[in-house]
Copies of this chain bind each other. A is one copy, B any other.
Amino acid sequence: MYVLDLIGIAAYAVAGALVAIDRDHDVVGIVVLAVMTALGGGIIRDLVLGDTPPPAFTTWQYLVVALAAAAVTSVAHPWLGLLGRPLLVFDAAGLGFFGVAGTQKALDHGLAPVAAALLGVTTAVGGGVLRDVLARETPALFRVGSELYALPALVGCLAYATAAALDLDSPALAAGTAAAICVVRLLAVLRHWRGPRALRRRSPVGPSPVDGPTPP
């Protein structure tokens, strides 16, 4: 699982660095966005749990992997465009693994299952949200029309936390849940699955322009 952790950090760091490079930031912007994306979610989780200083600051491997991924991306980004699919797979794997690992850590700190699952999802998506806020993008969570991202992670983390509450958790279940989250996320992208939205406003004279881009 430690190797998977580092793979997830590397994938997230590459994604953060690519955002910075696309915007022509200098080395500081690249490093900040890469590190925030890769480690930000875990830092938020650790601050909430009171595990300070967060391991992102005390376990040097995490930081080194994030910085190395950012450095490689800065040089190799012209060729990474050819690797869109692998990146997406890494990102989905990170979503699953960070979600389950964050849930497990929250359970270890005594949180109840629902709270632990929410904190696990925060671990998985928090770094990307921080990156988007800093880069002045709309966070992916709030992009209208985007495919399922946090929802499969939430369902998977809730299932894992429930199993753990029933003493059914095991490393195999953790890995299986992470893999399931990853697969559902990839299927959602391939098949354009989207999440349910609120009931539309009633309109006596048919779809009104108030409703925005005319829902079906």
Question: Is A28 positioned at the interface, with any CB of B under 8 Å from its CB?
Answer: yes
Q: Is the CB of A49 within 8 A of B52?
A: yes
Q: Are A198 and B47 in contact (CB under 8 A)?
A: no
Residue of B nearest to A74 (CB): B198
**Contacting pair A201 B48 (CB below 8 A):** no
Partner of A28, one of B32, B141, B201: B141
Dominant secondary structure of chain A at its interface with chain B: helix
A21 to chain B, nearest CB (A): 4
CB distance from A66 to the nearest CB of B (A): 11
Tell me the minimal C-beta distance from A29 to chain B in angstroms: 5
Q: Give chain B residues whose Cβ lies under 8 Å from the Cβ of A53.
A: 48-50, 109-111, 115
Contact with B along A106-148 (1 / 0, CB 8 A): 1001111011001100000000010001111011011010000
Copies of the polypeptide in the assembly: 3
Known contacts A48-B54, A49-B53, A141-B28; decide if A21 and B198 are in contact (CB<8 Å): yes
Q: Which of A160-196 contact B (CB under 8 A)?
A: 194-196
With A53-B50, A63-B114, A199-B75 as given contacts, are A144 and B24 in contact (CB-CB < 8 Å)? yes
A48 to B30 CA separation, bound complex (whole angstroms): 22
How close is A136's CB to chain B, nearest CB, in angstroms? 6
Q: Is the CB of B78 within 8 A of A201?
A: yes
Instruction: Mark out the residues of chain A between 54 and 68 whose CB falls within 8 Å of any chain B CB in the assembled complex.
Output: 54, 57-58, 60, 63
Q: Is A32's CB under 8 angstroms from B197's CB?
A: no
Q: Report the 5 A-B pairs with minimum CB-CB distance, sorted nearest first.
A: A50-B52, A26-B195, A74-B198, A57-B115, A21-B198
Give A contacts to B, CB under 8 Å: 20-21, 23-30, 32-33, 35, 43, 47-50, 52-54, 57-58, 60, 63, 73-75, 77-78, 106, 109-112, 114-115, 118-119, 129, 133-136, 138-139, 141-142, 144, 149-151, 154, 194-202, 211-213, 215
6 residue pairs of the A-B complex, CB under 8 angstroms, read A23-B212, A26-B197, A28-B154, A48-B53, A50-B52, A58-B110
